[in-house]
Chains A and B, each alone.
Chain A
Amino acid sequence: MDALLVLQQTLNGLQLGVMLFLMAAGLTLVFGIMDLINLAHGSFYMLGAYLAAWLTGLLGAFLPALALAMLLTGLVGILVELTTLRRLYARDHLFQVLATFGLILTFNELIAVLFGVQPIFASPPPALSGQVTLLGAPYPAFRLAIIAVGALTALALWWLIARTRLGMLIRAGADNREMAAALGVDVARLYTLVFALGAALAALAGAMAGPILAVRIGMGEDILILTFVVIVIGGIGSIRGAFVGALLIGLVDTFGRAFLPALLGAAGTSLASMAIYILMALVLGFRPRGLFPAPA
């Protein structure tokens, strides 16, 4: 029984981890390559969740809705980059924080106008709404699907970054922006593309989160802090760091919540909610630039 519980909690941890990875991958690219602190990354997550939930109702099928939600959110990302963020690259981080915080408020109110203030309905597609029996214990099928989607996305991103021309440009941009620009890379267009990719990944995370979480205004801010913890632990600008960091956070958080309260009582409850921040402090103590720092 205990081994079974550990297995289930490991799956739970992995599932939380890949969800965080989908968010962190986009955020770390934007932060690392464009040197832009984007607090509104969570808004793309919320937008993805709302669009996927709404389109699922409209189209009657989850997968096309998911694809369309990613596409639309990517387009919104392009629009935001062109109209707002482009003016902020040269500015201090404080301006970026202010402007992207403004974007959060704008998106929250936009959602209120479009969908109303009450949370909206989202459920897993019928084929994934049941449970799968793993070693005799039921486990929600949709959570397994999240793990699969996250793993596939990680592979696809690795391929994109390591094996394609666009990936080469992204790596060049992350390593040395000025040099890449001097060698004729259209950095402005690269930035727009990277930002749209990040927005679409956040939308994927939101669309996959919709069926298990509340699709509501402010849902993006809930996950944003954890996402920042992930990229700080992983090393800013590193996809591999984001992957390892996200899984670490997912597992540590889940195991902390699952087992510490039973071991330590009320102190365990408090310790469990601090566990990931303790982890972050430890990692930063030994590796101040994260586990996989992008080369300076």
Chain B
Amino acid sequence: MRRIGTMAVAVLCGVAAVPVDAEELRIGLLTTLSGPGSGLGVDIRDGFKLGLEEKGGKLGGVAVALVEADDQRNPDVAVKLTDEMLSREKIYLMTGQVWSNLALAMMPTLARAETFFISPNAGPSVLAGKQCSPWFFNTAWQNDNNHEATGAWVQEKGYKNVYLLAPNYPAGKDALTGFKRYYKGAVAGEVYTPLDQMDFAAELANLRAAGPDATFIFFPGGQGINFIKQYDQAGLKEQIPLFGAAFSFSQDILPAVGDAAVGAVNGSQWSPDLDNPINKAFVPAFQAKYGRLPSLYAAQAYDTVLILDAAVAAAGADWPDKDKFREALRAVRIETSRGPFRFGNNHFPIQDFYAREVVKLDDGTVTNRLLGKVFSDHQDAYAAECAMP
């Protein structure tokens, strides 16, 4: 674990109550650092720390104390650690969370403690619509958004008969709903697989028999790797183009699938080659510090630092006043690694979305390159249901 400047990094377990310095902004970084899915959590932690380091360990001029903990991708552990961070570590705000089910489990505790929850990833529709909360902010996207962007691209390119696959759980259904919100053609098949399924041979044989003109998938993490490899090995990649949201084709997955993913088109709010000054500095800085290309998760965490920095700076000396801090956060309008960023009424982003294509560079690196912009200033479909102004 690195110690950076004035930032005190405390290990949560076994540390006695810490005296709270009024001048210090205490942030809980609770994410998945061990076991399956830890690739995403580590990218979020590393992106956040890089951002904080570049700000000299301060946000808006206020020294930050970062409290890290590992939720093990387990909702019970996440809630327990949230309790500890609130009671022992006296955190002012919580961030880091990857998974929607964990975020939803943590939300009641954080709202009851009137503590801000700034999610750098998880953006469930529940928290974007009727149950939007003054204590919840998302700095990445509403879960449907990247699927919507892919759907719009597939529609625009004139595909007429698409085969859809996703895991059988709420985010999987949301993904296909998001895709179909903008794709208006025929559905050649809509398949939900168990969340723990590893082998897709049966589904791929059915897919081939159905003869669609494109395939859309939402398989994050390990399932994505399995599906992309098997799709290629079945010889389907050359016949039926593969589409998906960025989650199935991000930099945590591409090194593990290699050539099998090349040519797949995916929707995202960010791309490593996005042309803006912040991104042009961020990507090489991340690569230099950690020896790997950043994923969209790392970029989101980095942007979270920029957004918090702007909000604390705007609130000035009043930042400990939670109402003032919330107003400052709601009003943030800044440039980030993904370009212009602002929050909508429901505390979810209003931003641009792009289509990216997986390419192999001359040095053998498999990564994403921009194809074009799909949405400008796009807001999620649930914002109107949120009662916040």
Judge whether A102 is part of the interface by a CB distance below 8 angstroms: no
CB neighbours (8 Å) of B39 from chain A are 117-119, 216
Is there an interface contact between A131 and B203, defined as CB atoms closer than 8 Å? no
CB neighbours (8 Å) of B205 from chain A are 5, 8-9, 12, 258
Measured CB to CB, the nearest residue on chain B to A140 is B233
- The CA-CA distance from A257 to B197 in the complex, in Å, is 11
Contact among A124, A130, A213, A217 for B199, CB-based, below 8 A: A213
Is there an interface contact between B201 and A119, defined as CB atoms closer than 8 Å? no
CB neighbours (8 Å) of A212 from chain B are 199, 226, 229-230, 233
Is there an interface contact between A215 and B192, defined as CB atoms closer than 8 Å? no
Is there an interface contact between A216 and B233, defined as CB atoms closer than 8 Å? no
Is there an interface contact between A257 and B193, defined as CB atoms closer than 8 Å? yes
Judge whether B225 is part of the interface by a CB distance below 8 angstroms: yes
Tally of chain B residues near chain A (CB < 8 A): 43
CB neighbours (8 Å) of A137 from chain B are 208
Interface centre among B201, B208, B209 (most CB of A within 10 A): B201
CB neighbours (8 Å) of B197 from chain A are 257
Judge whether A248 is part of the interface by a CB distance below 8 angstroms: no
Known: A5-B209, A117-B38, A217-B38. A269 touches B168 (CB 8 A): yes
Judge whether B191 is part of the interface by a CB distance below 8 angstroms: yes
- The CA-CA distance from A218 to B233 in the complex, in Å, is 23
Is there an interface contact between A216 and B168, defined as CB atoms closer than 8 Å? no
Measured CB to CB, the nearest residue on chain B to A2 is B209
Contact among B33, B168, B201, B225 for A214, CB-based, below 8 A: B225
Judge whether B113 is part of the interface by a CB distance below 8 angstroms: no
Is there an interface contact between B34 and A112, defined as CB atoms closer than 8 Å? yes
Measured CB to CB, the nearest residue on chain A to B32 is A117
Query: Which A residues from 58 to 114 make CB contacts under 8 A with B?
Result: 108-109, 112
Min CB distance, B279 to chain A, in Å?
21
Judge whether A1 is part of the interface by a CB distance below 8 angstroms: yes
Is there an interface contact between B202 and A257, defined as CB atoms closer than 8 Å? yes
Known: A5-B205, A109-B34, A138-B234. A16 touches B199 (CB 8 A): yes
The contact string, 1 if C-beta is below 8 Å from chain A, for chain B 174-211, is 00000000000000000111101111011101101100
Is there an interface contact between B234 and A131, defined as CB atoms closer than 8 Å? yes
The contact string, 1 if C-beta is below 8 Å from chain B, for chain A 139-165, is 110110000000000000000000000
Judge whether A254 is part of the interface by a CB distance below 8 angstroms: yes
Among B59-67, B130-138, B255-263, B303-311, the stretch that binds chain A is: B255-263
Is there an interface contact between B226 and A214, defined as CB atoms closer than 8 Å? yes
Judge whether B389 is part of the interface by a CB distance below 8 angstroms: no
Contact among A12, A16, A123, A258 for B258, CB-based, below 8 A: A123
- The CA-CA distance from A262 to B233 in the complex, in Å, is 24
Judge whether B19 is part of the interface by a CB distance below 8 angstroms: no
CB neighbours (8 Å) of B14 from chain A are none
Judge whether B235 is part of the interface by a CB distance below 8 angstroms: yes
Known: A130-B235, A212-B199, A257-B193. A118 touches B36 (CB 8 A): no
Is there an interface contact between B234 and A140, defined as CB atoms closer than 8 Å? yes
Judge whether B380 is part of the interface by a CB distance below 8 angstroms: no
Judge whether B320 is part of the interface by a CB distance below 8 angstroms: no
Is there an interface contact between B196 and A222, defined as CB atoms closer than 8 Å? yes
CB neighbours (8 Å) of A13 from chain B are 202
- The CA-CA distance from A215 to B226 in the complex, in Å, is 9
Measured CB to CB, the nearest residue on chain B to A15 is B201
Contact among B35, B252, B256 for A218, CB-based, below 8 A: B35
Is there an interface contact between A119 and B256, defined as CB atoms closer than 8 Å? yes
Query: Which A residues from 16 to 47 make CB contacts under 8 A with B?
Result: 16
The contact string, 1 if C-beta is below 8 Å from chain A, for chain B 258-295, is 11100000000000000000000000000000001000
Judge whether B42 is part of the interface by a CB distance below 8 angstroms: yes
The contact string, 1 if C-beta is below 8 Å from chain A, for chain B 305-330, is 00000000000000000000000000
Min CB distance, B249 to chain A, in Å?
14
Measured CB to CB, the nearest residue on chain B to A19 is B199
CB neighbours (8 Å) of A211 from chain B are 229, 233
- The CA-CA distance from A269 to B198 in the complex, in Å, is 16
- The CA-CA distance from A9 to B203 in the complex, in Å, is 9
Contact among A5, A9, A215, A257 for B256, CB-based, below 8 A: A215
Is there an interface contact between A223 and B198, defined as CB atoms closer than 8 Å? yes
Measured CB to CB, the nearest residue on chain B to A261 is B191
CB neighbours (8 Å) of A5 from chain B are 205-206, 209
Judge whether B222 is part of the interface by a CB distance below 8 angstroms: yes
- The CA-CA distance from A139 to B233 in the complex, in Å, is 9
- The CA-CA distance from A212 to B232 in the complex, in Å, is 10
CB neighbours (8 Å) of A169 from chain B are none
Query: Which B residues from 1 to 47 make CB contacts under 8 A with A?
Result: 33-36, 38-39, 42
- The CA-CA distance from A120 to B222 in the complex, in Å, is 11
CB neighbours (8 Å) of A216 from chain B are 36, 39, 221-222, 225, 256
CB neighbours (8 Å) of A131 from chain B are 233-235
Min CB distance, B146 to chain A, in Å?
20
Is there an interface contact between B230 and A258, defined as CB atoms closer than 8 Å? no
Judge whether A176 is part of the interface by a CB distance below 8 angstroms: no
Is there an interface contact between B201 and A254, defined as CB atoms closer than 8 Å? yes
CB neighbours (8 Å) of B222 from chain A are 119, 213-214, 216, 218-219, 222
Judge whether B102 is part of the interface by a CB distance below 8 angstroms: no
Min CB distance, A193 to chain B, in Å?
30
CB neighbours (8 Å) of B255 from chain A are 118-121
Judge whether B253 is part of the interface by a CB distance below 8 angstroms: yes
Closest 9 CB pairs of A and B: A218-B36, A214-B225, A12-B201, A119-B256, A214-B222, A258-B202, A140-B233, A117-B38, A257-B202
15 additional A-B residue pairs with CB within 8 Å, beyond A212-B233, A261-B192? A5-B205, A15-B201, A112-B34, A117-B38, A118-B255, A119-B225, A123-B229, A130-B235, A131-B233, A139-B234, A213-B222, A214-B221, A216-B39, A216-B221, A221-B36
Chain B residues in the interface with A (C-beta under 8 A):
33-36, 38-39, 42, 168, 191-194, 196-199, 201-203, 205-206, 208-209, 221-226, 229-230, 233-235, 252-253, 255-260, 292
Q: Could you pull out 7 A-B pairs where Cβ atoms are within 8 angstroms?
A: A118-B42, A138-B235, A214-B226, A216-B39, A217-B36, A222-B196, A255-B202
Chain A residues in the interface with B (C-beta under 8 A):
1, 5, 8-9, 12-13, 15-16, 108-109, 112, 117-124, 129-131, 137-140, 142-143, 211-219, 221-223, 254-255, 257-258, 261-262, 269, 273
